[in-house]
Amino acid sequence: MQWEKFFRQNLEAVQPYQPGLREEQIKQIAKVATIHKLSSNESPLPPFPAALAAMAEQLVNLNEYPDGSAYGLIHLLSSHYGVAPEQIICGNGSNEIIDQIAQTCLGPEDEVLYCAPSFVVYQSSAMIAGAGYRELPIRADGSYDLAALKAAITPQTKIVYICTPNNPTGGVVKQTELAEFLNGLPEQLLVVVDAAYEEFVDDPEAAHPLDFYDGIRPYAVLRTFSKMYSLAGIRVGYGFAPQPVVERVNKVRAPFNVNSVAQAAAQASLGDTQELAFRRALNAAGRERLSSCFAELNLKHFASQANFVWVEVEDAMTVFNELLARGIIVRTFGGVQGLRVGVGDEQGVSDTIRAFQDLFAY
């Protein structure tokens, strides 16, 4: 078999997603007993108490397939956000929905447009669909440059992604900026706002992407339960999109793509506003401690609105390995001299600060 001729040729350039290192991968490297995994933007806290109870109740039913339409979750989301059920998509994480939108919308003559560095799935989903992609630089504050994106739109541009807060920099676009961007766009364009980290935002000027959703214009907003709600291990994301988009996505969506445990946990989490407020405040405090540390060490960093902080360092791989030796797992990005540092629990933040002080305090 000549395998190189067997597969679709456009897949040759696609790089598999590389997750952050896990604790067990560095046990032989770390010189300390306690290891903090801060590489995947995960919550340092377990799922909400109500979600844990809801998941436990589902375990005896695992012999049955989940609700393939996610009826209960979709209708709860509909009631919570005031969006019609037929305009809501549920996925195995919001990145699955990105892939599905690419499958349904993109062809070889199309391209996607986004700023970089940002979430790698925007690029890979376009490449897998056989479409092109263009990357524009982020702004000096780590946020998407909406004016530059708008100016760069061509007749071939089919999807524009906006990630706010941006992963990996944590920058946000402003409410006024998003309003201006959405005014006067060409009809052939679908705008997809990836708001996976919106629950962490406390900037009063930051955009609230769902405020601009009307279910009519080609505009979609994606969210997830993986981050603030601590459900990364069971993968449940959701999105709001015009009904024609949802109908096409359902054509390519795998049957039973959101498992019953995930659906139950998501429904139990959504209404717990008290726990949500507590976790938002805890994350903000840890994020501020990290930012203050980087400022004191004269390390350039972005003012983040997510659950991580981007810090620029010379020779990022050397610093990355030095942090591993101290039990701190962060994230590197190829060709970029910087690190994405997740906000851990209080001890994790303290140990991270101590590690950076060891390396950069002179």
Shared domain for 266 and 278, answered yes or no, is no
Q: Are residues 283 and 316 in the same domain?
A: yes
Residue 3, in any domain of the structure: no
Give the residue from 223, 255, 270 where a domain finishes: 270
185 in a structural domain: yes
- If asked whether residues 298 and 191 sit together in one domain, one would say no
State pLDDT tens for residues 162-204: 999 999 999 999 999 999 999 999 988 999 999 999 999 999 9
Residues 111 and 231 in one domain: yes
Please tell me whether residues 88 and 200 are part of one structural domain. Answer: yes
Average of per-residue pLDDT values in the chain? 95
What pLDDT shows up at residue 282? 96
Residue 326 has pLDDT above 80, yes or no: yes
Q: What is the pLDDT of residue 162?
A: 98
| Domain ranges, residue 258 | 51-270
| 7 part of a folded domain | no
Residue 8 located in a structural domain = no
Mean pLDDT of 127-139: 96
219-275 pLDDT per residue, tens: 999 999 999 999 999 999 999 999 999 999 999 999 999 999 999 999 999 988 999
Amino acid making up residue 305: Q
Last residue of a domain, one of 231, 255, 270: 270
Which pLDDT band, with edges at 50, 70 and 90, does 60 fall under? very high
Span 155-166, mean pLDDT? Answer: 98
Q: In angstroms, rounded to a whole number, what is the distance separating the alpha carbons of residues 358 and 326? A: 10
CA dihedral 142, 148, 150, 151 (to 10 degrees): -170
Q: How many domains does the chain have?
A: 2
* CATH number of the domain residue 82 falls in: 3.40.640.10
Beta strands at 111-116 and 132-137: parallel, antiparallel or unpaired:
parallel
What are the phi and psi torsion angles at 22 (to 5°)?
Answer: -110, 165
Domain match, 203 and 290 both: no
pLDDT band with cut points at 50, 70 and 90 for residue 205: very high
Amino acid 24: pLDDT:
74
Same domain, 96 and 142: yes
Identify the CATH number of the domain in which residue 283 sits: 3.90.1150.10
Residues in the chain: 362
